[in-house]
Amino acid sequence: MLGLWLEAVAPEEGCALLVGRRLGACWRLERLWPCCNVWPELARRDQRFAIDPREQLQAQKWARGLGLELLGSAHSHPTTAPLPSASDRAFTVAPALMLIRGPSPLDQRAETLCWWLEEGEEPPELLPCRQLDA
């Protein structure tokens, strides 16, 4: 399902918020909140994304009502590898989970990689994650 949401706006970058709970040192992803890419320069939305702060607040309020919280974000890289770019890291408030969907260089099928971003830590940590799409 995540892949469909992120790829639906191709060739623009798709985006979503990750909602779940912290269980001690572990974070558990429980819900996805699809978002609109509101990057101000329309011609650059194939390389950049922004989530409307009002939408983030709505997602946060909804999550709190379920006893959950925002854990991070997901977005697509329609034409580049699913690696956190410098701007991805700059616009992320750490610590945070980041999922990036991008084309695979081996077989041209899309793949989603999970990253853990810690404040001041370079590079981000690649996390093992279960397949999110059926």
Q: Which residues pair with 125 in a beta bridge?
A: 116
Give the strand order in the sheet containing 26-35: 26-35, 15-23, 69-76, 96-103, 110-117, 125-127
* Alpha-carbon gap, residue 46 to 35, rounded angstroms: 15
pLDDT confidence of residue 22: 87
- Paired tokens of 94: 């750490």
Percent of the chain past pLDDT 70, that is, above it, reads 91
Domains of the chain: 2-127 (3.40.140.10)
Mean pLDDT on 105-116: 76
Residue located via tokens 């408030």: 93
Q: Which is it for strands 69-76 and 96-103: parallel, antiparallel or unpaired?
A: parallel
3-state secondary structure 30-70: EEEEEECECCCCHHHCCCCCCECHHHHHHHHHHHHHCCCEE
- Paired tokens of 96: 């945070």
Confidence of residue 7 (pLDDT cuts 50, 70, 90): confident
Q: Would the pTM of this model clear 0.75, i.e. be above it?
A: yes
